[in-house]
Structure 1
């Protein structure tokens, strides 16, 4: 018996405020559905963060609906849990996945902690914060007891584990039951496969590049989902890679070679079918940040969807030239003013008004995502 395991599709995410990036996430999800149908698994597991927000935009809801209906038409059941981005942080609130119950999606929840797919036990729990880890561990113990009479058992969770993210985890590796044949996790955006207990523990990773720090892992391991065969004693896991709509390019160049490096980068970009996201760091030498910014954008903005620039000169100067690294203590307030001086005030206003609404609605996951996006924009600016 085979199943497809995917997670962290984050539909509705408008990365860098770009409609094109929102469309990329939709396109990759549609590609994943088509690949799943081509592979003809017996069922599908989605381990959380189907959407970027607990109140997804209309197109995200429709794209998910079309994909789930395609699976239903092919008689491929889909099981899903809510991730931290899907969860509305309010008592008795329902995740958006509940909308697709009549379209064939089987939502694993506290009220329905497991299903049977033939003779395969599929059980789990939605995302729980570190503050609710005790309740989650109790649920896992109950799920393990419920699975005891079944030969094939799958555990579905959307959690960070201390083994993989030691500073941001919600549960420890010792809290995860070891009796399951396959632990289908979501939340970590890198691909992970480990031997664990009686079987395997796996994160398929995100299906698109959600943060720029995922680029190295993507180049090494790709993006996509897993095709898992649990017929034998030990699950066999195959990577199914998806073709991302556009490239992320990350470059660090010396200021002394700026023009030569820009020519090289422009030549490569000219060979691409879609305008890429370029993350470029200029370092070394004493240079005026604003002048280099203008040079980069004049040379590259027409051929890139976005240019995310960062600067590491030998010295950092404000208007009074008083921030020489290594020669005197930096003033934090002035450093922040320096970093923000070219930042779009409209973005700051958008952050403030968005946070006010989301925190008023107790929508903490959306607020957290908004702050993360703002911080990345600030860092890469």
Structure 2
């Protein structure tokens, strides 16, 4: 038996405000669906952050629906949980529920195990770090059910595990139910698999299917897992997707012209125009000269960013350093500034993504609905 483990699709992400980047995300999503169909997987698991924002645009909703429809047409069932990007702070029905109600896919994010073709499936939507202690009993309950199940047991979570990334973690591996044979994870955007003696199966992160804003620009591979559970052990196999190339280069100011020549040669045969970042070291730098050199790449790239690695600060063309877990750092700083995790979650995880996609009308409506909810709470 074979299944696909796909996570962090972030459908609807419009990186750099370009239609090309929005289409890139849809393209790799459809690649994952096509490959799953071609390889005759028995089912597909989506481990959260299906959409980039809780109220995605119509194109994103249709793209997901069409993907699930194609799976169903090929007799492939799918199951999903919600990540933090799918969950609105306002009490509305999450968009992915539509697919459950239409029987395009099965929602399993409430921790209620179900059996499918002899496989036990259980999942939980995103759990905040402060809420983890409340789930100890629920984890214990499903662990007992898993222990008594003779076939494979799959637990689907959208959480950061400390042993993988201590800066973006809400849970430790020792907190997890131990009797599952595969832990289908979402949330962390880098591919990784680890096995622990205290768990019956591997913890696997397929990572995001495309580079997202929080990951910066880097030369990396993206994809998903096809997991073979024909034997006693679950064996994840990495499937690489054809993503748009992204490169980060470093150079000294005096060698910039030579570096631009080298970059041009490297990217000239790319099937898709790449995204390029150039980090320039030096002092007494003339930004006009940099702009002139960078302009030589314009016809070869989708976007090119540059920044100066010195005390000098340039203009808006500078692409600033960002940590790999910028979303978590922004959230932490917002909590400090606003004095409320709830308000910070609204600002960073709901309002900011919409504003960055230039959805002004949607952002205004979100602020209005949030204000109306606040007034009702104050009256009570």
Tell me which interval the TM-score lies in, with the shorter structure as reference length. 0.7 to 0.9
- 2:35 alignment counterpart: 35
**In structure 2, the residue corresponding to 1:167 is in which secondary structure?**
helix
Q: CA deviation at 1:193?
A: 1.0
Quote the residue 2:23 is aligned against. Answer: 23
Report the Cα distance in structure 2 between the residues aligned to 1:63 and 1:138, rounded to whole angstroms.
37
Query: What is the distance in 2 between the residues matched to 1:212 and 1:360?
Result: 17
CA displacement, residues 227-281 of structure 1 (integer Å, 9 cap, x when unaligned): 111122211221111111x210111111111111112212333222322101111
Secondary structure of 1:99's counterpart equals helix
Question: In 1, Cα distance between the equivalents of 2:122 and 2:141?
Answer: 10
Change (3 A) 1:367 1:171: farther
Cα deviation for residue 109 of structure 1 reads 2.6
Distance 1:37 1:341 in 2: 45
Show the counterpart of 1:298: 295
Structure-2 residue corresponding to 1:227:
226
Question: 1:50-78 CA deviation, whole Å, 9 max, x = no partner?
Answer: 11111111100000000000000111110
Local SS of the residue matching 2:155: strand
Shift, 1:342, TM fit: 6.5
Aligned to 1:73: 73
Root mean square deviation of aligned Cα: 2.7
SS at match of 1:180: coil
Quote how far apart the aligned CAs of 1:366 are: 2.3
CA distance in 1 between partners of 2:315 and 2:156 (Å): 42
CA distance in 2, matches of 1:251, 1:114: 48
Residue 207 in structure 1 maps to residue 191 in structure 2: no
TM-score normalized with structure 2 length: 0.80
Paired residues in the alignment total 333
Q: Does 1:118 align with 2:102?
A: no
2:239 alignment partner in structure 1: 240
Whole-angstrom CA distance in 1 between matches of 2:318 and 2:194:
43
* Contact 1:124–1:143 (CA under 8 A) maintained in structure 2: no
Cα distance in structure 2, aligned partners of 1:341 and 1:255: 18
Q: Give the C-alpha shift of residue 103 in structure 1.
A: 3.7
In 1, distance between residues paired with 2:109 and 2:255? 56
- Equivalent in 342, 350, 360 of residue 366 of structure 1: 350
Counterpart selection for 1:278 from 276, 282, 286: 276
Structure 1 distance, partners of 2:216, 2:315, is 25
CA separation of 1:361 and 1:133: change in aligned 2, threshold 3 A: closer
Per-residue Cα deviation, 1:104-138 (whole angstroms, up to 9, x for no partner):
2001132x622211211100100011122222333
Q: Matches of residues 63-212 of structure 1 in structure 2 within 5 Å?
A: 63-91=63-91, 93-101=92-100, 102-110=102-110, 113-151=112-150, 152-196=152-196, 197-211=199-213
Partner of 2:9: 9
Residue segments in structure 1 that go unaligned for 5+ positions in a row: 317-337, 345-354, 375-381
Aligned 8 A contact 1:3 1:43 in 2: yes
Task: Point out the more displaced range, 161-170 or 176-185.
Answer: 161-170
Once residues 165 and 273 of structure 2 are traced to their aligned partners in structure 1, the CA distance between those partners, rounded to angstroms, is: 33
How many angstroms apart in 2 are the aligned matches of 1:251 and 1:364? 30
In structure 1, C-alpha distance between the alignment counterparts of 2:81 and 2:74, rounded to whole Å: 21
Secondary structure in structure 2 of the residue aligned to 1:199: coil
Tell me the alpha carbon deviations over residues 307-352 of structure 1, each in whole angstroms, 9 at most, x when there is no partner.
1111113x52xxxxxxxxxxxxxxxxxxxxx5677789xxxxxxxx
What 5-or-longer segments of structure 2 have no aligned partner?
320-333, 335-341, 359-380
Is the CA contact 1:121–1:147 (under 8 Å) kept in the aligned structure 2? yes
Instruction: Indicate conservation of the 8 Å contact 1:89/1:364, yes or no.
Output: no
| Contact 1:12 1:60 survives alignment (8 Å) | yes
> Quick one: distance in 1 between partners of 2:216 and 2:129?
23
Find the aligned partners of 1:48 and 1:268 in 2 and give their Cα distance: 36
Tell me the CA shift for residue 90 of structure 1.
Answer: 3.5
Displacement after TM superposition at 1:163 (Å): 1.0
Please give the alpha-carbon distance, in whole angstroms, between the structure 1 residues aligned to 2:303 and 2:179. 47
Q: Alignment partner of 2:266: what SS?
A: helix
Query: Which residue pairs with 1:249 in the alignment?
Result: 247
